[in-house]
Amino acid sequence: MKTSMTTVGLTLCLALGAAHAQDKAPDWGDKISEEAFLKAAKESFYLNKPEEFERLNDPSLAICNATHNRPDDAQVKEILGREQAAIVYPKDKALFGDWQKGKKWVEDVHGGRIGYPGFLDADDPHHANGGNCYACHAIDPNFPQAGNMGPPLTNYGKFRPKTEAMIKYTYDKVYNAKASNPCSLMPRYGNPRLLTPEQVADIVAFLLDPASPVNQPPVNAAK
Amino acid sequence: MKTIKRLALSLGLGLGVPAALMIGTTGALANSDEDKFAAYRDALGDENPGEFFIDDGKKFFHEKRGPKNENLEKCDFGLGPGVLKGAYAQLPRYFADTGKVETLEGRILGCMVKLQGFKEEDVLKMHYQNAGEEDSRPSELAAITSYIAAQSNGLKFDVKLEHAAEKNAYEMGKKMFWRRQGWMDLSCADCHANTQGKLLRGVELPDMTAPKTAGKVMTAFPAYVLKDANVRTQWWRNERCVLAMRLPWLKTGSELDAALTLYMSIFASQSDEKIQVPGIKPRA
């Protein structure tokens, strides 16, 4: 529990740090009202189905945009409440899945890309989605690419006890990062977006299982 | 001439990278691929296959075509009907006849509909459907855009905010750029402002609010993309990132496409970079 509190504090600092860096910009187009923007957006995007427009109109992000990622206390409460309520757990309540599957979900980029009819790079919704976590994190030390917009997750489970609290903290973070950090830079992955509860549980295992390559020394590159 | 085109095409396809290594739709290549790109560029020498698209665009512009059997020479790009030299350097801008701020692509599209009688959706079909990776099917709209943009080669961008509609478009573009949205919960700014030291899946991110970088990027579009063996426009560049943000499909020349392009063009206009199209890019 203690570890998990420290982690929360640390990630909050990182997130706020990022917000500060952005404040060099005087405004975020604040002269344009949400209403005017959404009106322009209605004309500017091609929709295959009306629901696609919801991707432009999210109540939690509306607060983050209006406050430049600095919600006040009441807004924090509102976002955390809404996002915590949105977390769904696997039917069998098993939050710790199969790390080998998790390895794949973390790497894959597929999922959620939509486009004009006949555009070939749109994603097939019948195919399992991935999280593209390497866009922002270093994770498996053997994976050739990593981003640094999020903290490194290499050795994530090495110094963290595989307690129930740590498993739940990790599950909730991956399922809905805005349930603990209201304007987190990290996307919300859980249904109905990209990852199913079972996939998130597999990712939890990938991050926390001592046998996972995340928590093992890198395989020596020498052949 | 045909041989060179085909050579370039096969080089372009040869750059293929396993899909798993791509970031969303904006591709990340390992360093060795960057080296390969340098080698391909050397092999091409002074030949830029994008030039062939410009030749095609010139033909499409001056030939009588479409249901009204007209050419596009009466199309006004802001400097008077048919004046092409320097027109792209001042776009997007406000046009009184449409009452809209328009990009070069949007303006051409409007003229193809109004002057030549083409149906908008017929012009856009291939422009949209060929936007995927390694898709070399040509779009007429992209070819005409490349031809007209090239008539500003050697000039700096000089986009102005004079008309109230241009000022409003700038603010709208700023909002589109900074607003967090889409299933990734990200804004363009999260990846393209204050990018110092930021890496996305191993790729350095260009700061589109830094005049020099914005200038370098925007003066190269329309660009010949080797991986696609195709010429790609500024709208396409915007859409590729919109796609990676998991937003719906951004329409060419729409209000937000024009606003976003105008917003970034204002930064490009603050740099000394000169328009030089078609640029050459390894990939998306």
| CB-based contacts of A218, cutoff 8 Å, min separation 6 | A141, A142
A132 contact residues in B (CB cutoff 8 A): 23-24, 201
**Interface list for B 231-270 with A (CB within 8 A):** 243-244, 246-251, 254-257, 259
Return the beta strands (E) in chain B as ranges.
93-95, 100-102, 199-200, 203-204, 223-225, 230-232, 249-250, 279-281
Structural tokens at position B45: 């020498």
Distances (CA, A) of B57 to B61, B66, B127, B280: 6, 15, 14, 18
Contacts of A40 in chain B (CB under 8 A): 172, 255-256, 259
Contact status of A107 with chain B (Cβ, < 8 Å): yes
Q: How many CB pairs under 8 A join A and B?
A: 173
Query: Residue B231: what are its φ and ψ, rounded to 5°?
Result: -95, 135
**Residue B284: per-residue pLDDT:** 74
Q: Of the candidates A110, A132, A133, A136, which has an alpha carbon nearest to the alpha carbon of residue A123?
A: A110
Partner A contacted by B25 (CB < 8 A): yes
Band (pLDDT 50/70/90 cuts) for residue A221 is: low
Q: What average pLDDT does the segment A97-107 reach?
A: 98
Beta strand extents in A24-126 (DSSP E only): 45-46
Interface touch A37/B20, C-beta < 8 Å = no
Q: Is the pLDDT of residue A173 over 90?
A: yes
- Whole-number Å distance between alpha carbons of A161 and B114: 68
pLDDT of the residue at B283: 83
Rounded average pLDDT over A142-153: 97
B19-41 burial, b for 16+ CB within 10 Å, e for fewer? eebbbbbbbbbeeebeebbeebe
pLDDT of residue B130 exceeding 50, the answer is: yes
Greater model confidence, B17 or B133: B133
Length of chain B: 284
Per-residue pLDDT tens digits for B264-279: 999 999 999 999 999 9
Domain ranges for chain B, please list them: 2-281
The reported pLDDT for the residue numbered B23 is 37
Query: Residue A55: which of B24, B30, B246 has the nearest Cβ?
Result: B246
Q: Which percentage of chain B shows pLDDT scores above 70?
A: 84
pLDDT (0 to 100) of residue A170: 98
Q: What angle do CA A188, A190, A191 make, to 5 degrees?
A: 130
Chain B, window 66-85: residues with a beta carbon less than 8 angstroms from a chain A beta carbon: none
Just list the catalytic residues of B: 241
Amino acid (1-letter code) at residue A203: I
pLDDT per residue as tens digits for the range B189-218: 999 999 999 999 999 999 999 999 999 999
Give the model's pLDDT for residue A193.
95
Q: Annotate B186-222 with DSSP letters as a single string.
A: B-HHHHHSS-TT-EETTEE---TTSHHHHHHHHTT-S
CB–CB of A146 and B19 under 8 A? no
What is the average pLDDT value for chain B, to the nearest integer? 89
Please tell me the distance from the alpha carbon of residue A79 to that of residue A83, in angstroms, as a whole number.
6
In Å, what is the CA distance from A169 to each residue of A95, A154, A164, A189?
A: 10, 17, 9, 15
- Please give the DSSP secondary-structure letter assigned to residue B225: E
User: Residue B113 pLDDT > 50, yes or no?
Assistant: yes
Mutate to test the interface with A, among B103, B134, B175 (most CBs of A within 10 A): B175
User: For residues A43 and A212, is the Cβ–Cβ distance under 8 A?
Assistant: no
Q: What does the alpha-carbon distance between residue B270 and residue B248 come to, in Å, rounded to a whole number?
A: 31
- Look up the pTM and report it: 0.91
Give the count of alpha carbons within 13 A of A2, CB side only. Answer: 1
CATH number of the B2-281 domain: 1.10.760.10
Confidence of residue B18 (pLDDT cuts 50, 70, 90): very low
B136 token code pair: 């070399």
Residue in A97, A62, A96 with CA at minimum distance from that of residue A79: A62
> Are the beta carbons of A146 and A139 closer than 8 angstroms?
yes
| HSE of A160, CA atoms in CB hemisphere, 13 A | 28
Fold type of domain A47-215:
Cytochrome Bc1 Complex; Chain D, domain 2 (1.10.760)
Query: Which of chain B's residues have a Cβ under 8 Å away from the Cβ of A41?
Result: 256
**Is residue A117 exposed (0-12), middle (13-18) or buried (19+ Cβ within 10 Å)?**
exposed
Q: Is the pLDDT of residue B186 over 70?
A: yes
Sign (positive or negative) of CA dihedral A51, A56, A59, A61: positive
> A220 pLDDT band (50/70/90 cuts)?
confident
Residues A174-197: tens digit of each pLDDT: 999 999 999 999 999 997 899 999
Cis peptide before A217 (omega within 30 of 0): no
- Interchain CB contact of B129 with A (< 8 Å): yes
Report yes or no: A189 and A200 within 8 Å, Cβ to Cβ: yes
Q: Is the pLDDT of residue A2 over 70?
A: no
CB contact under 8 Å between A193 and B257, yes or no, is no
Report domain extents, chain A. Answer: 47-215
Where does the pLDDT of residue B47 fall: very low under 50, low under 70, confident under 90, or very high at 90 and above?
confident
Q: What is the chain A residue with the closest CA to B20?
A: A108
pLDDT digits (tens, 9 = 90+) for A51-67: 999 999 999 999 999 99
* Mean pLDDT calculated for residue range A138-152: 97
Q: Across chain A, what does the average pLDDT equal?
A: 90
List pLDDT tens digits, range B86-108: 999 999 999 999 999 999 999 99
Q: Does the pLDDT value for residue B153 go beyond 50?
A: yes
What mean pLDDT is predicted for residues A211-221? 91
Q: Which tops the pLDDT comparison, B100 or B38?
A: B100
Among candidate residues B259, B257, B160, B271, the one with its CA nearest the CA of residue B213? B271
Q: How far apart are the first and last CA of chain B?
A: 26
Strand-pair partners of B204: B199
Report pLDDT for A191: 79
Q: What pLDDT sits at residue B14?
A: 30
Chain A positions in Cβ-Cβ contact with residue B199 (cut-off 8 Å): 146-149
The confidence band for A9, taking pLDDT boundaries of 50, 70 and 90, is: very low
Tell me whether A4 touches chain B (CB under 8 Å): no
Chain A nearest C-alpha distance from B181 (Å)? 5
For position A21, what pLDDT does the model report? 47
